[in-house]
Chain A
């Protein structure tokens, strides 16, 4: 059984990881022995679920315990520092996305993970564990429905996450909707399609962070558009147009897929999965909901520690999406709101350059 500490006890830990970790404790895979969060109120919310865990006053306390694993779910600006402290102490890390707020920080994390005696570094790109995402990857790689002609991705919803701090909205956190939601999207695109040839990027940050953005991305053989928003509700839909079919998927439904067969006038909508062995790992057949994929994420890391199984989302791959985001921020253009007056546009341009 591996000893685990939770670093950052806010909403992500409470809502997404805690149920999975409780289940893994029950299965005697792990034991949560420590909780760390400077906000004691948030830390105390996890105590009833992990009664054997002690409250750590600092990450220096890691050396006092026999820690094998750490969940880093603090605000992104702390990820690098905390992950490096864990990795250097020989602790394997599941770092929530984004793995860092800058490429330099991410490189430092990878360097720490690569040093002798360091722990493993996995990044919480949970969507890679979804059967639908794995199926899309297979469709693209094998050209099962022919070549991918183009794609559109829309992840647009009013911000409703029960944020426990203003970290989401502060410029020194590294970014806005692109860094928070787009990191998932771009990680999947890298996983599915590799490195893009060119990207044009617009967002609406005017001295603060972006809450709307549009990316137009070209690959060697295909191209697509990604729209992200914390501002309005236009839903979550990935649509891929292949030569012989169109495939659409909502990323909050890990197994639901809709396929429209070109020129036939038929479509099929249903659940996707493999009959006896799933694509990435040997997953239990009882997977029924979104949260259970967090169990699989942890099992993947535990398997990598015990059996040297490959990580589904290693830090070395997760940095690619961060690199794209870094490129976008460095090459950003202002996304002009069509309801702005002339003077508003002028001021917006000035503020966006500051």
Chain B
């Protein structure tokens, strides 16, 4: 069994190579865009390829000889949105059995209910640019798989934690500097998953021959609010979490209005210079910008996007995951933090 990993230089991709090589003895083919991306992967004898995730012919060569593909690219929203077709066509050309596409739970970001399950109705027009791009890619993958020979399993994680995770490093820096600001006191759900657990799910999906093209929410079901997440992290770090400050929740108006068709139409009709002038006008300065200005300190994560995360009203439902793939997390919360903090020490952050 050989797994091609598109986006192997990133946090999830590089841990996938490491974990599959060391923990499972599985051969991987890391695929990266440029030579300098090979650094972290070169600790192992790996059969890497250089390929652009937007180029079908390059991916076709890179996938050749592999059985599965884990597709986890970073990049600009346009690249994310358009990544499905070249990858799918390339996979089909060389007989890949299944693509595991790492989608995102960010596609639920306008959901108002208390639970997000895979059948929730999502309108792309109401989403932010990143969420929209991820959803577009996921939908295109699923559409292509309905007509093609390669199955696609899309996994929707929210907050992926683990060694080298931004969601470990940044909160730690905030806790260490006493600059922690949680929107609305961090009452929203932190739907987190440990990176190895996510890779285990990807492996399960590869191994499950009876599984067709499906979408799964993926989460460790810790039932943690953001405040509890910070408190757990602080406890594991051995530092106080008394300095965590609640700040007002972000105003919803901006994202709602900006996601409307009217806003997009008006925006497309407005000349760039007028846009610039409008942006500078105090009359229309956005409340979200004011929020950011008033509550952002150096080293703090409290920008409007993060603030919106802190008040996430929904928990990811993983009923389908548990029933279809009989999944149970292998790394528990304490161990997740222990290993992640081990990385912080390794990297000199602690």
Are A and B co-members of a single complex? yes
Footprint of B on A, CB under 8 Å? 154, 156, 158-166, 168-171, 176, 204-212, 227, 229-232, 234, 337-341, 343-344, 347-348, 351
Interface string of B37-78 (1 = CB under 8 A from A): 011111111101000000000000000000000000000000
Contact A339 B42, beta carbon cutoff 8 Å: no
3 closest Cβ pairs, A-B complex: A338-B342, A159-B39, A169-B42
- Whether B265 sits at the interface, judged by CB under 8 Å, is no
Q: How far is the CB of B198 from chain A (nearest CB, A)?
A: 14
Given known contacts A206-B43, A232-B347, A341 and B23 CB-to-CB distance under 8 angstroms? yes
Q: Give the complex CA separation of A20 and B194 in angstroms.
A: 49
Interface string of B1-24 (1 = CB under 8 A from A): 000000000000000001101110
Q: Which residue of B lies closest to A154 (CB)?
A: B348
Question: Cβ of A206: which chain B residues have Cβ within 8 Å of it?
Answer: 21-22, 43-44
Contact B21 A347, beta carbon cutoff 8 Å: yes
- Whether B97 sits at the interface, judged by CB under 8 Å, is no
Main secondary structure, interface of B, reads helix
Contact A176 B42, beta carbon cutoff 8 Å: yes
Determine which of B19, B45, B339 lies in contact with A208 in the assembled complex, contact meaning CB atoms within 8 Å.
Answer: B45
- Whether B210 sits at the interface, judged by CB under 8 Å, is no
Known: A159-B39, A168-B35, A351-B45. 9 other contacts (CB 8 A): A163-B34, A163-B35, A206-B21, A207-B44, A208-B43, A211-B40, A339-B162, A339-B339, A351-B44
Q: Give the complex CA separation of A204 and B340 in angstroms.
A: 18
Q: Which residue of A lies closest to B348 (CB)?
A: A234
Q: How far is the CB of A210 from chain B (nearest CB, A)?
A: 7
Q: Give the complex CA separation of A164 and B42 in angstroms.
A: 16
Interface string of B148-164 (1 = CB under 8 A from A): 00000000000000111
Contact B45 A337, beta carbon cutoff 8 Å: no
Interface-centre pick from B21, B25, B38 (highest chain A CB count, 10 A): B38
Q: How far is the CB of A175 from chain B (nearest CB, A)?
A: 11
Q: Give the complex CA separation of A231 and B339 in angstroms.
A: 17
Question: Cβ of A154: which chain B residues have Cβ within 8 Å of it?
Answer: 348
Q: Give the complex CA separation of A21 and B39 in angstroms.
A: 30
Question: Cβ of A171: which chain B residues have Cβ within 8 Å of it?
Answer: 45
Footprint of A on B, CB under 8 Å? 18-19, 21-23, 25, 34-36, 38-46, 48, 162-164, 196, 339-340, 342-343, 345-349
Contact B348 A348, beta carbon cutoff 8 Å: no
9 A-B contact pairs sorted by A residue (CB < 8 Å): A166-B48, A169-B38, A211-B43, A231-B347, A338-B339, A339-B163, A339-B339, A347-B21, A348-B22
Question: Cβ of B35: which chain A residues have Cβ within 8 Å of it?
Answer: 163-166, 168-169
Question: Cβ of A164: which chain B residues have Cβ within 8 Å of it?
Answer: 35
Question: Cβ of B347: which chain A residues have Cβ within 8 Å of it?
Answer: 156, 229, 231-232, 234
Determine which of A210, A232, A340 lies in contact with B164 in the assembled complex, contact meaning CB atoms within 8 Å.
Answer: A232
Question: Cβ of B40: which chain A residues have Cβ within 8 Å of it?
Answer: 159, 211, 230-231
Contact A338 B345, beta carbon cutoff 8 Å: yes
Q: Which residue of B lies closest to A159 (CB)?
A: B39
Q: Which residue of A lies closest to B349 (CB)?
A: A234
Given known contacts A158-B39, A211-B43, A230-B40, A338 and B22 CB-to-CB distance under 8 angstroms? no
Q: Give the complex CA separation of A162 and B43 in angstroms.
A: 19
Q: Which residue of B lies closest to A344 (CB)?
A: B22
Q: Which residue of B lies closest to A340 (CB)?
A: B22
Determine which of A337, A340, A347 lies in contact with B25 in the assembled complex, contact meaning CB atoms within 8 Å.
Answer: A347
Question: Cβ of A232: which chain B residues have Cβ within 8 Å of it?
Answer: 164, 346-348
Question: Cβ of B38: which chain A residues have Cβ within 8 Å of it?
Answer: 166, 168-169
Given known contacts A169-B35, A231-B39, A337 and B163 CB-to-CB distance under 8 angstroms? yes
Q: Which residue of B lies closest to A335 (CB)?
A: B346
Q: Give the complex CA separation of A156 and B39 in angstroms.
A: 13
Q: How far is the CB of B47 from chain A (nearest CB, A)?
A: 12
Contact B342 A339, beta carbon cutoff 8 Å: yes
Q: Give the complex CA separation of A204 and B45 in angstroms.
A: 13
Question: Cβ of B339: which chain A residues have Cβ within 8 Å of it?
Answer: 338-339
Question: Cβ of A227: which chain B residues have Cβ within 8 Å of it?
Answer: 348
Question: Cβ of A211: which chain B residues have Cβ within 8 Å of it?
Answer: 39-40, 42-43
Q: Give the complex CA separation of A212 and B208 in angstroms.
A: 37
Given known contacts A164-B35, A208-B44, A232-B347, A343 and B164 CB-to-CB distance under 8 angstroms? no
Contact A162 B44, beta carbon cutoff 8 Å: no
Contact A168 B39, beta carbon cutoff 8 Å: yes
Q: Give the complex CA separation of A216 and B44 in angstroms.
A: 24
Question: Cβ of A166: which chain B residues have Cβ within 8 Å of it?
Answer: 35, 38, 48
Determine which of A163, A209, A212, A339 lies in contact with B340 in the assembled complex, contact meaning CB atoms within 8 Å.
Answer: A339
Question: Cβ of A205: which chain B residues have Cβ within 8 Å of it?
Answer: 43
Contact B36 A163, beta carbon cutoff 8 Å: yes
Q: Which residue of B lies closest to A212 (CB)?
A: B346
Interface-centre pick from B39, B163, B164 (highest chain A CB count, 10 A): B39
Q: Which residue of A lies closest to B42 (CB)?
A: A169
Question: Cβ of B342: which chain A residues have Cβ within 8 Å of it?
Answer: 337-339
Q: How far is the CB of B105 from chain A (nearest CB, A)?
A: 23
Contact A208 B46, beta carbon cutoff 8 Å: yes
Q: How far is the CB of B169 from chain A (nearest CB, A)?
A: 9
Question: Cβ of B349: which chain A residues have Cβ within 8 Å of it?
Answer: 234
